[in-house]
Amino acid sequence: MSMATTSFTKKSLGLETAEPAVTPPPASNHTTFAKKPKLGTSKSKKREIPEGLWTKCPHCSTMVFDKELEENLKVCTHCHYHFPISARERIQALVESNSFEPMDTEMSSVDVLQFTGAASYISKLAKYQQSTGLKDAVVTGIGKLGEQQTALGVMDFSFLGGSMGSVVGEKLTRLIEAATAKRLPIILISTSGGARMYEGMFSLMQMAKTCGALAYHGQARLPFISLLTDPTMAGVMASFATVGDLILAEPGAMIGFAGPRVIKDTTQAELPPGFQTAEFLLDRGLIDAIVPRKEMKARLIDYLNYLTAGQNQPVLA
Ligand SMILES: [Zn+2]
């Protein structure tokens, strides 16, 4: 269950910005140094290239102009591959401008187990807090989608593989409890390697805690939409992410519990093609709909309106 979250680094997903095969004509005037031809050595050190010009699509290998990619909500303009997107970018793409009020922004993990592997947990936390500007792997708060006030929890894979430790669990639980008290619908957007191994059992407890809070939210007859994005695995998949009234996924998202290699080794069976993709799980009824990122906001608003119809009237005692 505690996946080796650190193996899901940005690099292993093949998403580092690569140099374009052809130099874009007028983009820069830095022609002082002639470019050396590419050598086939895989060991060549990472090149110093200007940030934010082109990104190679890991799916179709097209070089996509970064500006175009941003405008397209980080979906490949050629093959519609959905690139990873930060929690902040996702929130910005969904809520009405200036409507989002974040909660518990300063909550940060304590190293209860004094965990030390290749590096100490404390140093890992510091590193990811620095690189992401986040205190932990989820951003929570209340914002407006269309006319609907909504409790929104969005995970960020770039913080320790989106792993769920006590902070992710606690922030989500507080969000869910606030939504129940204020009678708001909840949307949780997951991307995670699973429970955070650095916090051991404390991470596993978050599975029950978040689901418990969601059960009370459900008893109050309030809707919860779960959106699974690439990848949603292990302890997150086995807890709050799969108890939505509606479970949505982005196209091509990898969704599952244990990784395919572990399952293959354990069962000694050939896995069917497309195993653990959103499309495979849609076919088998685990998820309700696959929604492209560009349509996400409009579809979520439709679903919210449908699920909350009649709920915004004053409750008669
Ligand atoms: Zn592509």
Q: What's the pLDDT tens digit per position in 212-222?
A: 999 999 999 99
Please determine, for residue 139, whether its predicted confidence score (pLDDT) is greater than 60.
Answer: yes
Please determine, for residue 30, whether its predicted confidence score (pLDDT) is greater than 70.
Answer: no
The alpha carbon of 9 is separated from its chain's Cα centroid by a whole number of angstroms, namely 13
Average pLDDT of the chain? 85
pTM, rounded to two decimals: 0.80
* Percent of the chain residues past pLDDT 70, beyond the cut: 81
Please determine, for residue 14, whether its predicted confidence score (pLDDT) is greater than 90.
Answer: no
Place 50 in a pLDDT band, splitting at 50, 70 and 90: low
Phi, psi of 12 (to 5 degrees): -65, -15
Average pLDDT over residues 103-130: 91
Q: How far apart are CA 205 and CA 202, in angstroms?
A: 5
Output the six-digit token pair for 142: 């209340």
Q: How far apart are CA 230 and CA 251, in angstroms?
A: 9
The pocket of ion ligand 1, defined by CB under 5 A, consists of 57, 59-60, 76, 78-79, 81
Residue 82 CA to ligand 1 center (angstroms) comes to 8
Three-state secondary structure call for residue 230? strand
Output the six-digit token pair for 115: 């965990």
Residues 6+ apart with CB under 8 A from 177: 213, 216
Phi, psi of 49 (to 5 degrees): -120, 150
Return the pLDDT at 44: 46
Q: How far apart are CA 35 and CA 185, in angstroms?
A: 54
Count of residues making up the chain: 317
Residue with tokens 């998820």: 287
Angle between helices 200-219 and 166-182 (to 10 degrees): 10
Q: Which helix (H) or strand (E) holds 298?
A: helix 293-307
Residue 309 CA to ligand 1 center (angstroms) comes to 39
Please determine, for residue 147, whether its predicted confidence score (pLDDT) is greater than 50.
Answer: yes
Relative to beta strand 224-233, strand 246-249 is parallel
Residue 188 CA to ligand 1 center (angstroms) comes to 27
